[in-house]
Structure 1
Amino acid sequence: MTDPAQLPRHLRRIGRVFVDESMLDSPLARRVRDRLAGTTHADIPWIAVPEGQDRVECAGRDEQALYLKEYKGRFLRFCPGTRAYHCCGYRIIHIGENCPMACSYCILQAYFQDRVLKVWANQDALFRELAEGFGADRTSRFRVGTGEFTDSLALERLTGYSRDLVGFLADYDNVVLELKSKVVDLSWMDAATRTDRVLPAWSLNAPAINQGQEFDVSTLEERLTAARTCAEAGFRVCLHFDPIIHFPGWREGYAEIIDRIFDYVRPEQIAYMSLGSFRCMPQLTPIIADNFPDAAYIYNEFVPGLDGKARLLRPLRLEQFSFMVERLRRHGMDEQLYFCMESTEVWNEVFGFAPQDFGGLNRRLMDRAFGN
């Protein structure tokens, strides 16, 4: 049994908490302080950040800092996709930035080159904006999530942010919230009054990638067990293979994890599943090489994509996609599957159809999310 005084392993490097002066008495700051009390991190320093100063720094090389910040930008955003490829049309609820885990392939390394975990503490402003956006026209549907610039559940043990969102969105029948993570925290579940409006989601990968390129994360078994718990409670789950990595033994590795999925959940319990090949901005490659010297997959055959990102050579992508789709179809998966940021040509070659054949990828996933 886990020691309740011990934080989850992905949070144990937090060595200090910064709080904007304006947020010192916010409900979120009080909650984080209360939840740290009684843990092995109860005595870490709390530092008030004066108005006008937003640059904070960690003390040691391996330390991380938590920064409870008053955010003054837009909370509801569009997915930063590109018209060059088919985008899923996901809307982002922006709750913070950076991640306490360490996955070698993670694009956040290029966005946030520090160890500061930012959380927007002015939740009152967030909820006002969401109420205006979602309440203006109750016939407009929204498929939203928080797992774009941070992990949806990584800080849940301290912040309870996802639980707050689940409770707030209970009043909006036109919104489905996806909680996408590489860790397991199901403390939000008792705030959900409707199981059809929350989509718990986990990223998956081949066992060799999980063990060798993902650090301070939950195991594949832990994620799949959590997916089964949610499915048995009536939630439909989402699973994501992104990024799919090309490495020696990839066929055996992806076959193993695909087959394991269906020991835990049935196809009809999965709302949708994405497949996306590893792709990265040019500046990310040297960061990966420096931070993760054993990440040999960055030396595969890549070409510049239409979005400026390096993408695995198309025949290699097609080989992996075709293998995985065929394996998933053997287990009864079909309409749940989609590609993240791929071309019409790749869709046609692997699936035999393209998003425009069914009214667009956004429409297809919106229907899947709402159970239509």
Structure 2
Amino acid sequence: MTKLPSHLRKIGQVFVDESMTGTPIARRVRERLAEGGRADIPWTVIPPDQDRVVFDQGDTQAIYLKEYKGRFLRFCPGTRAYHCCGYRIIHIGENCPMACSYCILQAYFQDRVLKVWANQDDLFRELADGFGADRNTRYRVGTGEFTDSLALEHLTGYSRDLVHFLEDYDNVVLELKSKVVDLSWMDGTTRTDRVLPAWSLNAPFINEHEEFGVSTLTQRLEAARTCAEAGFKVCLHFDPIIRFDGWRDGYAEIIDRIFDYVKPEQIAYMSLGSFRCMPQLNPIIEDKFPETTYIYNEFVPGLDGKARLLRPLRVEQFRFMVDRLRAHGMEEQLYFCMESTEVWKEVFGYAPKDFGGLGKRLMGRGFGDIGILSKI
């Protein structure tokens, strides 16, 4: 019997669209729940005329294997007011089984239903039409925008399926961004040059007090080392960077620890982003995480409608982290997620336009051929 990972042990119900009951995803989820000793979890088939489910059973979570009828490939929901990294989203599902106090998904999806798009044939058909239309157009894509790329991998095998499907597309590089460790997607993979395993990192204090149900920082760094040793370039993300008492020591510690596991040349890129939130997120944090205090820092409204830490305070943290990372040999791997030209210049001394645009740089780093012009 294969025990379920700790972050999946609150699942107590499965819903499945009637049209999806015979899909590989549905069969796999049922089999793996049974293998994990949870064959007793009730399954409810959703009729064709019902578009959503309502589930409210305290701390218990539900999985909804749904026939998704929207677009699977979409643009990152950035704003022109700040520099966006320009990657594309492969939309595979919504919501997350972990509980991080700062997570914006709490405001997007105010329920405990983990949605998985089970109609993979439709997904692969759309991707084939998009990626295959012009093999000279390159795509840097990821699945970790509206869900965690690997949180449900133990049950669904979704990333493994996607990695294998994309092996035929030289013009696509896939980033798998997560806060848990599940490397089962690596089985049988031959294209180490087209997958970017990625993990979010934070100061140890934030990991211990604001992230729940996730893998430890050590586990994530060990996984990054495993992938790097197997030939993959890895990505690391500090987003959100949070201001708290002792933040300098905390972020210095985790930055220094990174290079005990991977070398700068094994890192494709690393993002830095300050905590920012929509107005409706604050009351959710106050209610669900009453001991959290960082939301009472000095914030101002941003041009995207989200509250941001006061600019001098953001710049202070950014400078500290960039200086520390530069001391370890990092430079072109670093970028800001959703920051202004002015902040770029204050911290880095240059702006994205000075090196041809952020999307172009990250495309080159993702494909490992810096300097090649790419359509983005």
TM-score normalised by the chain length of structure 2: 0.97
Q: Is the 8 A contact 1:163 1:191 kept in 2?
A: no
Q: Please point out which of 305, 325, 335 is paired with 2:322.
A: 325
Q: Alignment identity in percent? A: 81
CA displacement 1:15-64 (0-9 Å, x = unmatched): 01100000000111011111112222121001100012133233520110
**Match for residue 84 of structure 1?**
81
Matches within 5 A, 1:61-72: 61-72=58-69
**Match for residue 247 of structure 2?**
250
Q: Please point out which of 27, 40, 50 is paired with 1:53.
A: 50
Equivalents in 1 of 2:134, 2:346: separation in Å? 39
Partner SS state of residue 195, structure 1:
coil
Letter paired with 2:85: C
Equivalents in 1 of 2:33, 2:274: separation in Å? 38
Structure 1 unaligned residues grouped into runs of 5+: none
Q: Is the 8 A contact 2:56 2:112 kept in 1?
A: no
Q: Please point out which of 351, 355, 360 is paired with 2:357.
A: 360
Q: Please point out which of 222, 241, 257 is paired with 2:219.
A: 222
Aligned residues: 369
Equivalents in 1 of 2:12, 2:188: separation in Å? 30
Q: Please point out which of 111, 114, 132 is paired with 1:114.
A: 111
Equivalents in 1 of 2:94, 2:225: separation in Å? 29
Residue 350 in structure 1 maps to residue 347 in structure 2: yes
Letter paired with 1:51: P
Q: Is the 8 A contact 1:278 1:312 kept in 2?
A: yes
Matches within 5 A, 1:28-39: 28-39=25-36
Runs of 4+ aligned residues of structure 1 deviating over 2 Å after TM superposition are none
Q: Is the 8 A contact 2:105 2:146 kept in 1?
A: yes
Matches within 5 A, 1:199-218: 199-218=196-215
Equivalents in 2 of 1:346, 1:327: separation in Å? 18
Q: Please point out which of 277, 284, 291 is paired with 2:281.
A: 284
Taking structure 1 as reference, are residues 59 and 278 closer, same or farther at Cα in structure 2, changes over 3 Å only? closer
Structure 2 unaligned residues grouped into runs of 5+: 370-376
Q: Is the 8 A contact 1:75 1:94 kept in 2?
A: yes
Q: Is the 8 A contact 1:203 1:239 kept in 2?
A: yes
Residue 184 in structure 1 maps to residue 181 in structure 2: yes
**Match for residue 260 of structure 2?**
263
Equivalents in 2 of 1:362, 1:124: separation in Å? 29
Equivalents in 2 of 1:225, 1:5: separation in Å? 22
Residue 102 in structure 1 maps to residue 89 in structure 2: no
Letter paired with 1:109: Q
Q: Is the 8 A contact 1:272 1:368 kept in 2?
A: yes
Partner SS state of residue 193, structure 2:
helix
CA displacement 1:144-166 (0-9 Å, x = unmatched): 00000000000000000000000
Q: Please point out which of 8, 12, 34 is paired with 1:11.
A: 8
- RMSD over aligned CA atoms reads 0.7
**Match for residue 235 of structure 1?**
232
Q: Is the 8 A contact 2:3 2:35 kept in 1?
A: no
Residue 273 in structure 1 maps to residue 270 in structure 2: yes
What's the offset of the Cα at 1:96?
Answer: 0.1
Q: Is the 8 A contact 2:56 2:111 kept in 1?
A: no
TM-score normalised by the chain length of structure 1: 0.98
Equivalents in 1 of 2:93, 2:271: separation in Å? 23
Residue 307 in structure 1 maps to residue 312 in structure 2: no
**Match for residue 195 of structure 2?**
198
Partner SS state of residue 368, structure 1:
helix
Q: Is the 8 A contact 1:166 1:191 kept in 2?
A: no
Q: Please point out which of 313, 316, 323 is paired with 1:316.
A: 313
Letter paired with 1:170: E
Equivalents in 2 of 1:219, 1:38: separation in Å? 25
CA displacement 1:185-238 (0-9 Å, x = unmatched): 000012421101000000000000000000000000000000000000000000
Equivalents in 1 of 2:188, 2:56: separation in Å? 37
